[in-house]
């Protein structure tokens, strides 16, 4: 990524959304941080400009290492992300962060605490940190997190860190968005068997027992290794690496980065096509759902959709029959267009 401080294109180019998107996309790829910030705002707000920009940027993406960082609240995700940034920058790599914070149920806003913690990197052109509100989206990520990662990827960042909101058991969605999923655990935070049941370790490529300077850290790591190698319903052909680190001091972070590089290299040889195809399926599915729903809520089908939803609410029909009926309504709408 080439660093930049601001171009005339970022100031608000005139023209159609497609023209403005082209200017912003090209400026972001050239290192214009203002243009990149404007693109990310457009992505979060689902504007037409964002779609045009993504059409232009998507062919340029696919080169960054997307790393998901997840785990229960209090495990130290933000501290580990900051430590990883320091280690990556020491090795000359550029890094972008998508840090998701919980939204207020009243205002929809977010504390955006991750940006506060990482202010020391604000002047580093090799680092870009974007905090996003979850806006009620389940799964630990914001609805636009994966799209933001594509923008960072196309802008030339070497590594993109996706830090989840930290709600605990629901955060498995990050595995579909990342090349490598890192799950944090902390010692003395409860029964380690419960961590297995939570589902997080099922999607882990690397497990980090953080706060390794605390009593019980090595014991927690040993118990996790034993459980993950003990067979049964949690056995799998490729078990995650278990590491111990102390993010606040940086101890164990070089070893974590080495593990990330090993997983990246191994995936490139074997599993990356399947993982990336799954990610592509999730991305296309999300766009399809959004566009289908927009059509159903549009002026032509809004009344039919409302009547169908009312029927489900009254239990006069079931959701499956309703979905079939709405798909049939969409097909009927298409017939005149196809005939012409």
Q: Is 143 in contact with 130 (CB distance < 8 Å)?
A: no
Residue 57 pLDDT: 94
Judge whether 208 lies within some domain.
yes
Number of domains in the chain: 3
Do 156 and 77 lie in one domain? The reply is yes
Do 200 and 144 lie in one domain? The reply is yes
Residue 117 pLDDT: 56
112 vs 223: CA distance, rounded Å = 34
Query: Per-residue pLDDT tens for 246-259?
Result: 999 999 999 999 99
Within 8 A by CB and 6+ apart from 58, the residues are 150, 154
Do 194 and 215 lie in one domain? The reply is yes
Judge whether 211 lies within some domain.
yes
Residue 172 pLDDT: 62
Do 55 and 86 lie in one domain? The reply is no
Q: Is 7 in contact with 29 (CB distance < 8 Å)?
A: no
Per the structure block, which two tokens stand in for 239? 């078990």
Do 104 and 214 lie in one domain? The reply is yes
Judge whether 1 lies within some domain.
no
Please give the residue range of the domain that contains residue 25.
8-59
The residues of the chain scoring below 70 in pLDDT are: 1-14, 101-119, 133-143, 165-172, 188-200, 230-238, 268-275, 334-340
Judge whether 201 lies within some domain.
yes
Judge whether 2 lies within some domain.
no
Residue 136 pLDDT: 44
Residue 26 pLDDT: 96
Residue 135 pLDDT: 47
Judge whether 136 lies within some domain.
yes
Do 55 and 73 lie in one domain? The reply is no
Whose CA is closest to 95, among 133, 132, 67, 117?
67
Domain final residue, candidates 224, 239, 270: 270
102 vs 207: CA distance, rounded Å = 23
Residue 158 pLDDT: 97
Do 12 and 111 lie in one domain? The reply is no
Residue 105 pLDDT: 39
Within 8 A by CB and 6+ apart from 127, the residues are 85, 89, 94, 95, 96, 97, 121
Do 266 and 307 lie in one domain? The reply is no
Domain final residue, candidates 239, 270, 301: 270
Do 221 and 94 lie in one domain? The reply is yes
Residue 334 pLDDT: 66
Do 50 and 195 lie in one domain? The reply is no
Query: Per-residue pLDDT tens for 235-289?
Result: 445 688 999 999 999 999 999 999 999 999 887 665 556 667 777 887 888 888 8
Domain final residue, candidates 248, 270, 292: 270
Residue 226 pLDDT: 82
Do 228 and 204 lie in one domain? The reply is yes
Judge whether 3 lies within some domain.
no
Total-model pTM: 0.80
Return the CATH number at 105.
3.40.50.300
Give me the phi and psi of 234, to 5 degrees please.
-100, 5
Q: Is 78 in contact with 164 (CB distance < 8 Å)?
A: no
Do 222 and 331 lie in one domain? The reply is no
End-to-end CA distance of the chain: 48
């Amino acid at each position: 990524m080439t660093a930049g401080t601001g171009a005339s294109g970022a100031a608000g180019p005139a023209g159609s959304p497609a023209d403005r998107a082209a200017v912003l996309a090209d400026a972001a790829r050239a290192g214009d941080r203002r243009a990149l910030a404007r693109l990310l705002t457009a992505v979060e707000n689902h504007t037409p400009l964002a779609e045009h920009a993504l059409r232009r940027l998507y062919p340029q993406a696919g080169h960054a290492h997307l790393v998901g960082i997840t785990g229960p609240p209090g495990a130290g995700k933000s501290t580990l992300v900051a430590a990883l940034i320091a280690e990556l920058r020491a090795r000359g790599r550029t890094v972008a962060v998508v840090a998701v914070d919980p939204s207020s149920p009243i205002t929809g806003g977010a504390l955006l605490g991750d940006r506060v913690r990482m202010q020391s990197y604000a002047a580093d052109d090799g680092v870009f940190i974007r905090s996003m509100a979850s806006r009620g989206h389940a799964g630990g990520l914001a609805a636009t997190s994966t799209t933001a990662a594509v923008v960072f990827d196309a802008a030339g960042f070497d590594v993109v860190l996706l830090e989840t909101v930290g709600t605990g058991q629901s955060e498995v969605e990050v595995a579909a968005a990342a090349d490598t999923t890192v799950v944090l655990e902390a010692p003395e935070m409860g029964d380690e068997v419960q961590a297995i049941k939570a589902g997080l370790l099922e999607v882990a490529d690397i497990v980090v027992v953080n706060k390794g300077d605390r009593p019980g850290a090595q014991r927690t790591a040993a118990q996790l290794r034993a459980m993950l190698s003990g067979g049964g319903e949690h056995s799998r052909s490729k078990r995650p690496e278990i590491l111990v680190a102390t993010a606040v001091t940086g101890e164990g972070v070089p070893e974590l980065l080495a593990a990330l590089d090993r997983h990246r290299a191994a995936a490139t040889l074997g599993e990356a096509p399947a993982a990336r195809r799954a990610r592509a399926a999730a991305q296309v599915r999300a766009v399809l759902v959004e566009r289908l729903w927009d059509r159903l809520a549009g002026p032509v089908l809004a009344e039919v959709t409302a009547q169908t939803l009312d029927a489900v609410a009254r239990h006069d029909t079931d959701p499956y029959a309703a979905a079939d009926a709405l798909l049939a309504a969409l097909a009927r709408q298409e017939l005149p267009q196809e005939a012409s």
